[in-house]
Homo-oligomer: A and B are copies of this chain.
């Protein structure tokens, strides 16, 4: 599993990691029960502190995506897809609202937006 972080990103490192693991789980690249790289292994791979990768895993645990067992490792938890979809849909709506706000600022019509969306979706 490939995780890429950017030190120049405005986003905290632990959030970049969280986001990418979440995405892998949601798109099925990581299935329920699969083990995640250990916090040390991932820290080594990314050349960051284990506390940073632990922070990322903690966020994922809080959100119910994974669970960890001392001495054993971290694993993908059973996903409640309905709840996840619901939450994601809310995020998407928020993101689209921001897009619309920005579009109105530069006089971009709904049509323009839809074409842009179609173009980007098919890339």
Contacts and interface: CB of A to CB of B under 8 A. Distances in A.
B93 A96 contact: no
A58 to B, nearest CB: 17
Interface stretch (A33-41, A43-51, A103-111): A103-111
B120 A106 contact: no
Contacts of A121: 100, 110, 113
The secondary structure that dominates the A interface is helix
Nearest to A92: B102
12 contacts: A23-B105, A88-B102, A88-B106, A89-B106, A91-B102, A92-B103, A97-B120, A100-B121, A113-B121, A114-B117, A114-B118, A117-B117
Interface string A6-29: 000000000000000001001100
- Copies of this chain, how many? 2
A29 to B, nearest CB: 11
A5 interface: no
Q: Which 10 A-B pairs have the closest CB atoms?
A: A26-B105, A85-B106, A110-B121, A88-B106, A95-B99, A92-B102, A96-B120, A100-B121, A27-B105, A114-B114
A63 interface: no
